[in-house]
Structure 1
Amino acid sequence: MKRGPELIDAALEGLIAPSFTRIGFSARQRLFDWRRVDSYDLSGRVIAITGATSGLGRAAAERLAADGATVIVIGRNADKSELVAREIRELTGNPAVSVVVADMGDLDAVRRAADQILRAHDRLDVLIHNAGALSARRAESADGIEMTVASQVVGPFLMTSLLIERLAESGPGRVLTMSSGGMYSAELTVDHLQMNRDAYNGTKQYALAKRAQVTLSELWAQRVAAGSVVFHALHPGWADTPGVESSLPTFHRIVGPLLRDVDAGADTMVWLAADDSDPLASTGGFWLDRRVRSIHRLPNTRRSDTPARRAELWGWVGERAGVTVPVPR
């Protein structure tokens, strides 16, 4: 039988708006008496995070550095990444904040970034895939992949495969993927994962990519022993980030007063990276506000999520990434 806090949490989760806004975050924080994310000592741990120059990634990188972690800021713009790293060092007093430049949609850049991380660090405790943008116009990467899929599905898959052994050696390593509540509207598809130019819709393309991300996180978890590396995906709820403001201006204007601030949006990401209890006790979860949630809310997305389609997705992404994935045990 569920206790009072679990009943309230379940009621919030059943109603999207209260769950995803700052209301859900504030209620759960009180209900479950969360440990503060500024109470962790992460000295000696190495954490790499993509998309760390603004929004949720910047908030998480700053918090993790303040907790003593060695933080690798991965960004596509060298000047901006260096500026952010310098600001984080100054704000936290932690000198161990470095930069690796990579556009996650450029597979050659991802390979160079992974090599740079491996050469500079003899351990890697956490890899956080946070980079992501919603584009109104269709574009393709240098590898001929639709850019949203390249940067949020294929690029992260490649980086994970290149760093998986180092994560396992530091074990248990963690791979975290920041998804979006928008994935709830998207079916799992391979044939239509990349929208063509005539039918392109940036919001739908983003949701399709986010659905693929969550599925791949589960598939990684099935293939890699939890004692080596754990995998978790999560979504931040509705957070007030520069990306939301620029990509979804109408949504931002209407929901603005109820949006979470970036620290609240990044809370579960930081907690999954820092805490040694629940985040290491399971693998393959999809989280919101420090609790595992269902990956489906609609019957059509559940019907689309078949074992055959999952296997097809794994093969398709691996082929595009050009890797045969080593699976540590």
Structure 2
Amino acid sequence: MYESILAITGPTSGIGQAAVKVLVKQYDRVLLLCRNLTKGEALKKALFEINPQARVDLIECDLSDLSSVKTAAATTHKQVNHIDCLINNAGMVSTTKRESSDGYELMMATNYLGPFLLTHELLPLVMNSESKQVIVVSSGAYKFVPMKRPFFSPQHFNPLAGYGRSKLGTLYLAQELHEQYSRQGLKTTAVHPGMVSTNIGRNNVSQKVGDFVFKLLDPLFVTVDEGAQPIILAADHPEKYAGVYSDEGKIAAVKQYGSDFIMRREFIDATLLELDLKAL
């Protein structure tokens, strides 16, 4: 009997947690790729309460650390022979210049390089499934700034520019997946969940500054459950959302820097070279 399998990054908080609590009712098995195993265990228990029949596996994965990504992918290959839906959800914001363990700007490493490598490593499992779906959580922040060299370790740090470029990278990843693999049945969706009221980024500033900024922006935010809906919609309707950009659940045209094919080609090629990969 066929076992439908979901794999998701960043499932222990925010929209990832809200999405997986709904999707666990629709899959036979769920792979939680998470950095914090203590939170992962708590989520695993909660998912069993929602669907006692579901199999839930924890796989340690720190997307900012490329060796952790490779280990997580190797573990996944040992546990399953296919993945019906891979959701690249995990992301972070930093208001200060920080480097990953591999020496990359932290947001670019966590939001883009780690997910790119993970997708590359897990793509054979996705292509071996019945559904063949990848959902990439991007952001409307892709419109903030154009991609710029040096791509992965900028000389000058700006938090908005850094976050925007990392999310532009995730959009390029989704576009590249669709272009290269849609003819083989892969259904890829780039999702903008909206401005979601979560703690993302709050831990990287002082409490006073964080509280002030979040209070200022609060009227613009959607709830975590509302932010999870575009992910759930894409998972529920893979054909409808295949190859498109979903803006809060509505199919939308990609604008500005997201439609720069020449820069996308240059950026993807630079990524492959940086990660020592021959192809996505």
Answer whether TM exceeds 0.5 for this pair: yes
> For residue 207 of structure 2, what is the aligned residue in structure 1?
none
1:221 maps to 2:178 = yes
Q: 1:166 aligns with which of 102, 112, 125?
A: 125
Q: Which amino acid aligns with 2:224?
A: V
**CA deviation digits over 1:247-275, x for unaligned, max 9?**
66444313424522111101110121122
Q: Which amino acid aligns with 2:231?
A: M
Greater radius of gyration (CA): 1
> For residue 261 of structure 1, what is the aligned residue in structure 2?
223
**CA deviation digits over 1:46-67, x for unaligned, max 9?**
1111011100000111111133
Contact 2:63 2:109 in 1 (8 A): yes
Alignment CA distance shift 1:64-1:226 (3 Å): farther
Distance 1:217 1:277 in 2: 15
Report the CA distance between 1:246 and its aligned residue: 5.1
> For residue 236 of structure 1, what is the aligned residue in structure 2?
193
Distance 1:289 1:62 in 2: 19
Identity %: 24
> For residue 271 of structure 2, what is the aligned residue in structure 1?
317
> For residue 119 of structure 1, what is the aligned residue in structure 2?
78
Alignment CA distance shift 1:161-1:97 (3 Å): same
Contact 1:172 1:227 in 2 (8 A): no
Distance 1:145 1:244 in 2: 18
Distance 2:28 2:183 in 1: 22
Q: Helix, strand or coil for the counterpart of 1:156?
A: helix
> For residue 253 of structure 2, what is the aligned residue in structure 1?
294
Number of aligned residues: 274
Q: Structure 1 stretch 267-276 or stretch 151-160: which is displaced more?
A: 267-276
> For residue 233 of structure 2, what is the aligned residue in structure 1?
271
Contact 1:193 1:205 in 2 (8 A): no
User: What is the correspondence of 1:1-329 to structure 2 with a 5 Å cutoff?
Assistant: 44-192=3-151, 194-196=153-155, 199-243=156-200, 249-279=211-241, 282-283=242-243, 285-296=244-255, 301=257, 306-325=260-279
Distance 1:318 1:171 in 2: 28
TM-score normalized by the length of structure 2: 0.89
Contact 2:7 2:87 in 1 (8 A): yes
Q: Helix, strand or coil for the counterpart of 1:131?
A: coil
Alignment CA distance shift 1:274-1:227 (3 Å): farther
Distance 2:28 2:212 in 1: 38
Report the CA distance between 1:123 and its aligned residue: 1.6
Distance 1:245 1:286 in 2: 27
Q: Helix, strand or coil for the counterpart of 2:82?
A: coil
Residue segments in structure 2 that go unaligned for 5+ positions in a row: 205-209
Q: Structure 1 stretch 159-168 or stretch 79-88: which is displaced more?
A: 79-88
**CA deviation digits over 1:2-27, x for unaligned, max 9?**
xxxxxxxxxxxxxxxxxxxxxxxxxx
Contact 2:187 2:238 in 1 (8 A): no
TM-score normalized by the length of structure 1: 0.77
Contact 1:171 1:229 in 2 (8 A): no
Report the CA distance between 1:320 and its aligned residue: 2.0
> CA RMSD of the aligned region, Å?
2.2
Contact 2:28 2:54 in 1 (8 A): no
Contact 2:24 2:50 in 1 (8 A): no
